[in-house]
Structure 1
Amino acid sequence: MKTLKYIFNISLFMMMISCNQKDNKLIVDVYETSESGNKLTKLSNFISDKNASTIKLDTSKVFQTITGFGGAFTESSAYLLNRLSKKNRDTILEAYFSKEGANYSLTRTHMNSCDFSLSQYSYSPVEDDMELEHFTIKEDKDDLIPMIKDAMKVSEDGFKIFASPWTAAPWMKDNKEWVGGKLLPKYYDTWALFFSKYLDAYKEEGIDIWGFTVENEPLGNGNNWESMHYSPDEMTNFVQHHLGPKLDEDYPNVKILGYDQNREHLKEWVDSQFKNEETSKYFDGTAIHWYASTYDYFPEELQYAHNKAPNKYLIETEGCIDSQVPEWNNDTWYWKKEATDWGWDWAPEKDKYLHPKYAPVNRYARDIIGCLNNWVDGWVDWNMVLDRQGGPNWFKNWCIAPVIVDPEKDEVYFTPLYYTMAHFSKYIRPQAKVIGLENSDNDLQVTAAENPDGSIAVVVFNEGKTKKSFKLFLGEKETLVNIDAQALQTIMIPTKKNIQ
């Protein structure tokens, strides 16, 4: 009888341990993209590791609200889509904009032409047309507008679009050229009207524009393709006295983002934009690019910009693998430190150290995580689609897009960069809140955000060549996760399941 009682007690004890373990189990879904071949692959059945590090989430610490993630509608991308079969065109748009795909939520497009246009053009083609009576977006109607409209049809959640001008028409500028020069003060009001006319024209096409950046790369681009220069104070003056009042009158809900270039000069621009209440009034935030370095995401500058204007947007509006012809159907290359950028050849000697060779996936993952951990609320890639040359581009400024196509053969290549972007855009949704965490492994880069539905997305990047393990904690609950060498993971915590 005592033996039976002993066996019963042992069984009861083991059941209690099992129940406690089950109660403490953090339920997660894990998706991985890796150099070894995973592409947003769902993983399970992780192996125990006594050397596992720890990642502890802290939902009591809340940082910025996410605006979104996505890419840019360019004439080059739109033109290429029109050269593909309907099947492949639909496949690409669904991959970017459907819930089953990357579900892009924040996008960009260009006003007038840019380097990723087929030619140079302006919506204000008639000289000295001060009232823009001849304003026309006819250049966008063959390719660009159809791409945007088709993306809107695919997107169940919808997405925001902001537009950026590379330059005004040459007749408005002091040098009368597409490249370089400045907007003549006598045309400041005409140029402000241009933005409003653009909103009118796109609205007639059924496309609502969420916001603008005032000028793409106001410091110039080495006088290579379309550009128009501003100093910080010149841009602030234009927004404060011309663009801001005009949009406030015609489209008061449309956002204005200042600057729109590399982060190393960020401090001087936010100092001008947010100098006082009068200069700040019409700026809704600041736009940045990543081309100052192939590895440094400039956290000090990002922190400074946030502290200068803590209630304003801070959005990365352009980044890509630049000055590089794409590798076709070669996933391995995107994980190797063989890519070079503009700075490899052209950066001043004092800045060369900022531009070493790099692995494209590493650069994307590191930068996006670094941005999210330093108050950036949106991250937008450049072209969505390019060809095997890295164009078309009238200046032959070849770049890489996450999706590469061969229109002659009607073939499509989803590079690892597509899956890298999807790790963020698909799982961290607009209005998510970046939350605090403690990470015991300095070799793992980690960020986390709580979505409006209560789910939590944790993104972990293992740049090293050794597999790792970590225990993920949310309150008293935990789970063990293994991450492959050279791998990016998104861990989704559906909080309702964990509450039950």
Structure 2
Amino acid sequence: MKEYEKRGINVWGLTVQNEPMATQTWESCIYTAQEEGEFLKSNLGPTLWKNGFKDKKVMIWDHNRDLIYQRATTTLSDPETSKYASGIGYHWYETWNNKTPLFDNLEETQRAFPDKFLAFTEGCKEQFDLSKIYDVKLGELYGRNMLNDFNKGTALWTDWNVLLDETGGPNHVGNFCFAPIIANTKTGEIHYTYEYYYIGHVSRFIKPNAVRIGSSSNRVALTATTFMNQNGQLVTVIMNDSDNDIDTNLWIEGMAAKLKAPAHSIQTVIL
């Protein structure tokens, strides 16, 4: 981190270990919840503080939503470990074992540890296919996860790869994936996928330090989240992932505005 900062790259946070329960074809390291906590308490945390990095945000877990509550309640049960942890990181790959993302686990974890922020630290769509980079389902995958994650208490959300090449790489073990931006190194073309624009509806309009405001939807096909920016703006992001246009109303304190949510769309309303 010292070398990064010498070169003008500020490191605000780090995780203890990427996916500590996964044995992968790429670099891996297994930690039990107890081992992760012991390493943070006895090694990583004291070393960071001793070297002037007490302000860096350390996140535990950094794996999937399925076991986030169990891991957090075990690792953070020791106050001497907990004092070094600012947040709890997670990924979205529990759908490999569960057809449905386990968003409710985030809410339970946030309720148990209100002093720790939840951070989505990695997600991507695997099995890259250049012919499918303009599939709207890629954007909807991101929209569905972002909006539900925020509604369950997540404070920050980051993709795995911002930009990849025409193969979905480079990757040293052949794990080729989709990304918001695809650069064709053979033709010089730059492709902005639906992932890019769906992320943009959040990152462009919901500003740092915004506060989430309670909101709900009365249609299964409509997913929405609302934030208040520091300047008082109310920002509502609405996604319709169905095949049908939907006429709806945006209600706030007894007042309503008519909206149309086109099929397979995302939109942002600013008040």
* Residue 256, structure 1, aligned to residue 68, structure 2: no
* Residue 42 (structure 2) aligned to one of 241, 245, 256: 241
Q: Report if the CA contact (8 A) 1:326-1:399 is conserved.
A: no
Partner Cα distance (2:241, 2:115) in 1: 33
Partner Cα distance (1:325, 1:397) in 2: 12
Q: Counterpart amino acid of 2:40?
A: V
Aligned to 1:153: none
Residue ranges of structure 1 left out of the alignment (5+ in a row): 1-198, 336-358, 494-500
Name the CA shift for 1:364/1:213 in 2 (closer, same or farther; >3 Å). Answer: same
* Residue 323, structure 1, aligned to residue 127, structure 2: yes
Aligned to 2:18: 216
Aligned to 1:299: 103
Q: Counterpart amino acid of 1:416?
A: Y
Give the 5 Å matches for 1:78-93.
Answer: none
Partner Cα distance (1:307, 1:488) in 2: 29
Secondary structure of 1:293's aligned partner: helix
TM-score, normalised by the number of residues in structure 1: 0.52
Secondary structure of 2:202's aligned partner: helix
Deviation at 1:276, TM superposition (A): 3.5
Q: Report if the CA contact (8 A) 1:319-1:381 is conserved.
A: yes
Q: Counterpart amino acid of 1:243?
A: L
Q: Counterpart amino acid of 2:89?
A: A
Say which structure, 1 or 2, has more relative contact order (CA 8 Å, 6+ apart).
Answer: 1
Q: Counterpart amino acid of 1:431?
A: N
Partner Cα distance (1:255, 1:308) in 2: 19
Deviation at 1:476, TM superposition (A): 4.4
Aligned to 2:116: 312
Aligned to 1:392: 170
Q: Report if the CA contact (8 A) 1:466-1:485 is conserved.
A: yes
Q: Counterpart amino acid of 2:113?
A: A
Partner Cα distance (1:314, 1:326) in 2: 33
Partner Cα distance (1:482, 1:300) in 2: 29
Q: How many residues align?
A: 268
Partner Cα distance (1:380, 1:327) in 2: 25
* Residue 241 (structure 2) aligned to one of 453, 459, 463: 463
- 1:136-179 CA-partner distances (Å, limit 9, x unpaired): xxxxxxxxxxxxxxxxxxxxxxxxxxxxxxxxxxxxxxxxxxxx
TM-score, normalised by the number of residues in structure 2: 0.94
Deviation at 1:272, TM superposition (A): 1.8
Deviation at 1:298, TM superposition (A): 1.0
Q: Report if the CA contact (8 A) 1:273-1:283 is conserved.
A: no
* Residue 229, structure 1, aligned to residue 26, structure 2: no
Q: Counterpart amino acid of 1:377?
A: A
* Residue 449, structure 1, aligned to residue 227, structure 2: yes
Partner Cα distance (1:443, 1:483) in 2: 10
Secondary structure of 1:206's aligned partner: coil
Aligned to 1:278: 80
* Residue 484, structure 1, aligned to residue 262, structure 2: yes
Aligned to 1:367: 145
Deviation at 1:407, TM superposition (A): 1.3
Aligned to 2:157: 379
Partner Cα distance (2:39, 2:78) in 1: 16
RMSD: 1.5
Deviation at 1:274, TM superposition (A): 1.8
Secondary structure of 2:160's aligned partner: strand
Secondary structure of 2:63's aligned partner: strand
Deviation at 1:282, TM superposition (A): 0.6
Deviation at 1:314, TM superposition (A): 0.4
Give the 5 Å matches for 1:122-201.
Answer: 199-201=1-3
Partner Cα distance (2:169, 2:228) in 1: 37
Aligned to 1:113: none
- 1:57-77 CA-partner distances (Å, limit 9, x unpaired): xxxxxxxxxxxxxxxxxxxxx
Name the CA shift for 1:320/1:223 in 2 (closer, same or farther; >3 Å). Answer: closer
Percent identity, aligned pairs only, is: 30
Aligned to 2:183: 405
Q: Report if the CA contact (8 A) 1:263-1:290 is conserved.
A: yes
Deviation at 1:361, TM superposition (A): 2.1
Partner Cα distance (2:258, 2:16) in 1: 47
Name the CA shift for 1:487/1:204 in 2 (closer, same or farther; >3 Å). Answer: same
Q: Counterpart amino acid of 1:247?
A: L
Greater than 4 Å deviation, 4+ residue runs:
none
Secondary structure of 2:37's aligned partner: helix
Partner Cα distance (1:436, 1:267) in 2: 23
Secondary structure of 1:381's aligned partner: coil
Partner Cα distance (1:237, 1:227) in 2: 18
Partner Cα distance (1:285, 1:305) in 2: 11
Q: Report if the CA contact (8 A) 1:472-1:478 is conserved.
A: yes
Secondary structure of 1:327's aligned partner: helix
* Residue 423, structure 1, aligned to residue 201, structure 2: yes
Deviation at 1:441, TM superposition (A): 2.4
Aligned to 1:15: none
